Amino acid sequence: MLRKATVHDVSTIHKILSYYVKQDILLPRSLADLYEHIRDFYVEENDEGDGNLFGICSLIVSWEDLGEIRSLSVIENVQNRGIGTKLVKKCLEEAVELGLSRVFALTLRKKFFADLGFEEIEKALLPHKIWADCIKCPKFPNCDEIAMITSV
């Protein structure tokens, strides 16, 4: 069941993200940050509706015509079942509703995003506002993430 996240999901979202942070796949996000940005998240919940989350993804508005996919995570035991694709597609639908024309992601999973129509671009082509987040990143300036973008 795909739905918008609620404040009741924050601790589970944090646990899912923390798992991938420990593997150096995702960047850390604090509980305070997650509460502040809960409206940006979609979650895939099991069919029982008991709060057991299988995956998460967020869309943020970066500029007047540009959004960013962030924090895409699917728990390991249900990967390769289309949950990540479903979450990203929902975020792309929301991007259209918001009036955005492009959406980007910084990722280590190039093929996944390429399969969804994203194309690799140079990070330098992204607005300078994006770099404000990069400077705070523990990987800066040796970032291994790939910038990918799509039109919506």
Q: What is the pLDDT of residues 94-106, one digit of tens each?
A: 999 999 999 999 9
Comparing 37-41, 54-58, 77-81, 113-117, which segment has the lowest mean pLDDT? Answer: 77-81
pLDDT over 70 (residue 130): no
Selection from 37, 31, 36 nearest residue 16 by Cα = 31
DSSP secondary structure of 57-75: EEEEEEETTEEEEEEEEE-
- Is residue 68 a contact partner of residue 105, using CB atoms and an 8 Å limit? yes
Q: Taking the domain 2-151, which CATH number applies? A: 3.40.630.30
Selection from 71, 68, 29, 66 nearest residue 53 by Cα = 71
Selection from 74, 13, 15 nearest residue 41 by Cα = 13
The residue written with tokens 């728990």 in the block is 75
Domain map of the chain by residue range?
2-151
pLDDT of 61: 95
Per-residue b/e over 64-95, b at no fewer than 16 CB within 10 Å?
A: eebbbbbbbbbbeeeeeeebbebbbebbbebb
Provide the whole-model pTM.
Answer: 0.90
